Amino acid sequence: MSLAPLQQIPADIAAVGDYQAYARERMSEQAWAYLAGGAADELTLQDNRQAFDRLRLRSRVLQDLRGGNTRLRLFGQDYEHPIFVAPVAYQKLAHADGELACVLGASALRAGMVVSTQASIELETIAAQAQTPLWFQLYIQPDRDFTAALVRRAEAAGYRALVLTVDAPVSGIRNREQRAGFALPAGIEAVNLRGMRPLAVSADPSASSLLLGGPLLNAAPTWADLAWLRAQTRLPILLKGILSAADAEQALAAGVDGLIVSNHGGRTLDGLPATIEALPEVAAAVQGRVPVLLDGGIRRGTDILKALALGADAVLVGRPCIFALAAAGAVGVAHVLQLLRAELEVAMALTGCADLASIGPQTIWTPHSC
C-alpha cells in the first residue's frame, strides 16, 4: 500500500536527491519502474548522473559580484533563472493531481515548464492553471492531420514554443518496466491523443525483421516532416534529442529555433553518451546561433553551473520534479526548484560568476589550466 503525500517537508530533505526515497514509498512498483527506469541495463541513465560527478569547478576569489542575477531571455520571454521543468508523461502515476500540481509548483518558482504530449491532463487545463510560461512537447504522430490540430490547440492555449522530440521513433527496450509488468492503470491515459486515428499494423508473415521495414518506422518522422511542421506554426521550434554536431548542423539548416541536448533520460538507446559529455560538441557546432538547452542527470545546482559553463543556455529537470511531486505534490516541486536555484546561486558566487554571461569554459577546472 503506497503512502499518502507528505503534508509538510521533513527536515531531512535538504537536497534534491533526498526526495527519491520518499517518492518510492508513494508509488506502485509498476509506476516506479516507468518513471525511474531507463533502457536495457540503464548504463546511460547512470552515466547521465556520473558524468557530472567527474567534472570539477574552478573557484575564483575577490570577484565583484554586485548586481548579480540569474536572469535570461529566451524567445522573447524573460525568465528569472535557467531552470525549466522537463516534459514527463503520465504524471498522475506520481500524484493524483498530476500535471496540475506540477505546474502549480513550477509557477510558484516562476520556472518555465514543458508539457508532454502524453500528459495525463488536457493541455488546455494545464495552461489555465499555469502562472508561468509553458512550452508544448510534441511527437509528430503518424496521423499528421491530428498532429496539426494538436499544434493549433497548443497555440490557442497560449503555449510559447514547441519542443519536438526527435530521438524516439520507437520506444527503447525497458527491461525494468517489463519485469514489473508495467501497464497504465485505469483512469490514466494520454488524454491529448484521444480521437487520433491508430496506425494500421498488420502482421506480414514474409517479413524478415521485427521492426525495420515495418509500418511503425515507415510512418516515423524525417527531416521532411520538420519542414512540414515549420509550415504549420509560427511558434519557435526546439528539437529535443540532439547529441551530435552533424544533427545540430542539419537542424540549423532546417531553420529550427533551438536545440535540447538530450538522450531521453536514458530511456531510448542504452549506451548513448551522457548529455553533459555530448554538450560541448553540439555547442561548438551551434556557435550561439540558437539557444542550446540540456537535460539528463541534473541533481545539484553545481550540475546546472557545469552545463552552463559547457555551452547550455538553460537546463531542464525531469525526474527530481516527479519524485518531489510524488512525495509532496506542488509544494515538493516548488521545493526542488528552490533548492536547485539556491545551489546554483551559491556555486556562481564561489566561482566568481555574477550572472549567466560570466559563466564559461573557464568555470570548469582542467589540469594545468590557468
Q: Catalytic residue numbers?
A: 264
CA 307 to CA 84: how far, in whole Å? 13
Residue from 297, 155, 130 nearest 237 by CA:
155
Burial degree of 269 (CB within 10 A; 0-12, 13-18, 19+): middle
Consecutive H or E run containing 151: helix 144-157
Rounded Cα distance, 321 and 85, in Å: 7
Q: What distance in Å separates the CA atoms of residue 41 and residue 196, rounded to the nearest whole number?
A: 33
Per-residue b/e over 153-169, b at no fewer than 16 CB within 10 Å?
bbbebebbbbbbbbbeb
Can you spell out the DSSP letters for 13-59? --SGGGHHHHHHTTS-HHHHHHHH--STT-HHHHHHHHHHHH--B--
Look at residues 236, 224, 278, 238 and name the one whose alpha carbon lies nearest to residue 87.
238
75: alpha, beta or left, given left = phi > 0 and alpha = psi -120 to 50? Answer: left
Whole-angstrom distance, CA of residue 324 vs CA of residue 330 = 8
| Residue 156 DSSP code | H
